[in-house]
Amino acid sequence: MAEYTDHDGGAGDDVPDLSDSDNEEQWQWMEEANDNNFQVTCLFCDKMSNSVPETLQHCLVEHQVNLVEVVKKHKLDDYGYIKMINYIRTEKCSGQSLSTLPECSIPWESDEYMRPALQDDPILQIDLEELCEGMGMLAEPSTGSQCEASHSSDALLQRAQAAEERAQRTEEALARAMDDLHKLKLLAQGLVLNADVGRGTGALGAVAELREDEDEAYFSSYGHYSIHEEMLKDTVRTESYRDFMYLNPEVFKDKVVLDVGCGTGILSMFAARAGAKMVIGVDQSEIIYQAMDIVRSNQLQDRVTLIKGRIEEVKLPVEKVDIIISEWMGYFLLFESMLDSVLYARDLYLAEGGSVYPDRCTISLAAVGDTEKHQGRIAFWDDVYGFKMACMKRAVVPEAVVQVLKPDTLISKPAVIQGIDCNAVCLSELEFASDFCLKITESTDCTAIVGYFDIFFDRDCGNKVVFSTGPQVTKTHWKQTVFLLENPIPVQAGEELQGRITVRKNKKDPRSLFITFDLHDMKQTYSLQ
């Protein structure tokens, strides 16, 4: 799960210092030549040259490959050119095989070839239009004298080197501009998050309407390897998904499967091994590049296709899928609002008769009697080294606590307060209010309410699988969500503790939650963010 982030503050910060952009020379081509003392590796052999033009001329003479002709033949744009260069370096493509490719065959269409095969590859930094113009002259010299041809070639090399210098200076200016833009973006986000305005609730939902820069922190948190290690080592979670797929191969046989938020690709590979004929994994975080390597390492690239991007923005290679799998659950089930993205994919891509898995889930509450924990976190502020700090309770109590609860602190039977059918639920139903009744099992003080969820793989399954995140069973990385009461409530065994819970998204940050309890003449709103 994503680490907690502080969304307060920022509006009152000083405007950040920006780079000095008054000097127009930073944004214009400079006349001085930069140091171009670097080595360029040939695309087809280990030959090292001192410049890109020299390398391209080597490719033409020694390997009979005219890159311009290849670009024109396959009608490549800038992105197609980048993919082609990375494909050649990654797959060790020969000059002959590249030149003989038919027009209709482009083996580098996959987005995985947008990832540079060679760090800071100079051949990727040249301008495609100038490449076409220059290499065209080189491949088709005039019929004049040998001296004229040599002069034309020298002029071409000079132009190409000048283009390299301009590109390098452009990159430096762009880096400064991007730094300025990032500073302004942080300032603007602080102003927006602290403004007293709510996000509109359009037809797509608040999460789908988030801009990429607004959602950057969420996806960046999943780019860290440690979070994926934690999830993979959660055997309750991972083995439940594995068992569901491996024990129900008839559900996956020859099916097209979409994995929303695929992470390291573990669920995609489970689905492929279970018999799916095609699996499409989508993830916006940087972990997708490791997932591509993982899929190739397990020889599943013929059945598993991975796409980087938000499911709301990417285009799938198919119109419909038979199954959608996703591990979308957050703390208290709905934190992070990833289910919104799964429902978006369901409504857009799921074929008639298809299914989302897990297909059913529930949220439960129970009463907690843990005087020691309450004393350590809440009553502690009444007397701190002889000083009264009770005002701190107003800041501490509203923070929901994610922790592993001791089972012996439960003092009631659990009560299900919400059930979700992932194949039928509407987006609006993910914000709800529900009355609940907790049957007390022990006479003591109720110091908190705990929430957790259960997950079901049920629909069309001959071997049904279920797992729980409750305190009575093996712990998971979701732990439990504890809502501490400022003032404990005395309860007696056999009585019923009645209340009402309201769950809604934070309008300023739709991935976080506000959870309100009306309980025993007390009303308290908790934040989970």
| Of the candidates 28, 20, 133, the residue with the CA atom closest to the CA atom of residue 72 | 133
- Range with the poorest average pLDDT among 82-86, 136-140, 306-310: 136-140
Catalytic residue numbers? 327, 336
- Check pLDDT > 80 for residue 346: yes
pLDDT in the model for residue 35: 43
The mean predicted confidence, pLDDT, of the chain is 83
CA-CA-CA-CA torsion sign (217, 223, 229, 235):
positive
Using DSSP's 3-state secondary structure scheme, residue 419 falls into strand
Helices vs strands, H then E, count in the chain:
15, 17
Helix-strand-coil split of the chain, %, nearest 5: 35, 25, 40
Mean pLDDT, rounded, for 503-518: 87
Q: Please name which of 98, 39, 101, 103 lies closest in space to residue 63, comparing C-alpha atoms.
A: 98
Rounded Cα gap, residues 20 and 180, in angstroms: 10
Which helix (H) or strand (E) covers residue 351, if one does?
strand 350-357
Query: What residues form DSSP beta bridges with 364?
Result: 416, 452
In the structure encoding, which two tokens stand for residue 147, read together?
Answer: 């001296």
More confident residue, 49 or 326: 326
CA distance 243 to 149: 70
Query: So what's the pLDDT on residue 458?
Result: 97
141-179 per-position pLDDT tens digit: 444 445 554 555 566 677 677 777 777 777 777 777 776
When pLDDT is averaged across residues 57-73 and rounded to a whole number, the result is: 88
pLDDT, tens only, 361-387: 999 999 999 999 999 999 899 999 999
Q: For residue 446, give the nearest of 405, 501, 485 by alpha carbon.
A: 485
φ and ψ at 70, to 5 degrees? -65, -45
| Torsion angle, alpha carbons of 405, 409, 412, 414, to 10 | 20
| Residue 196, C-beta contacts closer than 8 angstroms, at least 6 positions apart | none
Banded pLDDT at 33 (limits 50, 70, 90): very low
CATH fold for the domain made of 212-327: Rossmann fold (3.40.50)
Average pLDDT (217-241) is 77
Region 360-528: CATH code: 2.70.160.11
DSSP 441-498: -SSEEEEEEEEEEEEEE-TT-SS-EEEE-STTS---TT-EEEEEEEEEEEE-TT-EEE
- What pLDDT score was predicted for residue 269? 97
> Mean pLDDT across the stretch 73-99?
88
pTM passes above 0.75: no
Q: What percentage of residues in the chain have a pLDDT greater than 90? A: 51
Is it the case that residue 446 has pLDDT exceeding 50? yes
Residue corresponding to tokens 């429902």: 343
Query: For the chain, which residues make up each domain, given as ranges?
Result: 40-133, 212-327, 360-528
Query: What pLDDT score was predicted for residue 179?
Result: 67
Cβ proximity of 486 and 497 under 8 Å: no
